[in-house]
Amino acid sequence: MKIISIKDLSVKYGNFYALKDINLEVEEGEIIGVLGQSGSGKTTLCKIISGIEKPTEGSLTIKKFEKTKLQFVFQDPSSSLNPRMRIRDIIAEPLIISGEKRTEVLEEKAENIIKKVGLPIEIKTKYPHQLSGGQKQRVAIARAVITEPELLICDEPISSLDISVSAQILNLLKDLWEEKKFTMIFVSHDISSIYYLAHKTIILYRGNLMEWGDTEEIIKKPAHPYTKILISSILSTDSEKKNLKIKERESYSKCVFSGVCPEYEKLCEDYLNETVKINENHFLKCGR
């Protein structure tokens, strides 16, 4: 069953396209990895899916469910947790919003979820500033999953954490998914975490969907010149490569990447930005 269907969708800020001609379908229970450099439109896509932002063109169709069944985890747990609330109340708040009033039910559910996300129970009466970054992110995740969401949007949930803590948070997300099989949008610029978690991966570049399909295919057999560069630059330790310094040239093509594409050819000038299918599980926008 489809949970999300995005058709010919664009988001414009003035004349600038934050997203352009996006087509995407998400099945219930899937984990979609969203990979792209800073400014490529990843957060805008999350906002569109959650309804915070409306498309300028095209449409988004999303399965109807209660408001509390859509939850978020953000990059910076400090700014997403109310500093004046105790951890137990922060975690229970979505249940209150969904109408639960019984104190004992709220406390019991909050305590169960505190244990489930691997936090010591004593933290329930503490405040966010008394916790480490990793603990705060566990609180944010606990709060997000307490309503048993149908759709969980994680926008760079590990980007502010150090490597060992990141790995623990990834394991936690995977364990939680294994148990409930909710749909998850997982945004990252870390390829290994996408590889670990996501069933499908989409690659964004300047608001355009460049390549999408099964994660294994995209990461092991990237077909789009941009994806190839992105993956090799992320895997590379060479700092110059990491910054994706590609020489700009004049381009006569409609392809958004043609001005910097290392595989640019004469024939790209006629390229019409159509979707190319490699197989059932692998697509790209590159007509070469």
- C-alpha 205/C-alpha 146 separation (Å) is 34
Q: Does 201 bind ligand ADP (CB under 6 A)?
A: no
Q: Which of residues 28-47 bind Mg ion (CB under 5 A)?
A: 42-43
- C-alpha 60/C-alpha 8 separation (Å) is 9
- Write out the two tokens for 127: 């405040």
Which amino acid is it at 1? M
When CB distances are held under 5 to 8 angstroms depending on the partner's kind, the choice from Mg ion, ligand ADP, none that residue 184 binds is none
When CB distances are held under 5 to 8 angstroms depending on the partner's kind, the choice from Mg ion, ligand ADP, none that residue 40 binds is ligand ADP
Crossing angle for the helix pair 103-116 and 133-145, nearest 10 degrees? 130
The residue to which tokens 């800020």 are assigned: 13
Q: Does 201 bind Mg ion (CB under 5 A)?
A: no
Which amino acid is it at 112? N
Taking CB under 6 A as the criterion, the residue among 43, 75, 135, 201 binding ligand ADP is 43
Q: Does 164 bind ligand ADP (CB under 6 A)?
A: no
Q: Does 128 bind ligand ADP (CB under 6 A)?
A: no
Question: Residue 43 or 137: which CB sits closer to ligand ADP?
Answer: 43
When CB distances are held under 5 to 8 angstroms depending on the partner's kind, the choice from Mg ion, ligand ADP, none that residue 41 binds is ligand ADP
- C-alpha 95/C-alpha 173 separation (Å) is 20
Q: Does 75 bind ligand ADP (CB under 6 A)?
A: no
Taking CB under 6 A as the criterion, the residue among 13, 120, 181, 232 binding ligand ADP is 13
CB 168 within 8 Å of CB 134: yes
- C-alpha 152/C-alpha 155 separation (Å) is 10
- C-alpha 180/C-alpha 101 separation (Å) is 24
Question: Cβ 57 to Mg ion, closest distance in Å?
Answer: 21
When CB distances are held under 5 to 8 angstroms depending on the partner's kind, the choice from ligand ADP, Mg ion, none that residue 213 binds is none
Binding site for Mg ion (CB under 5 A): 42-43
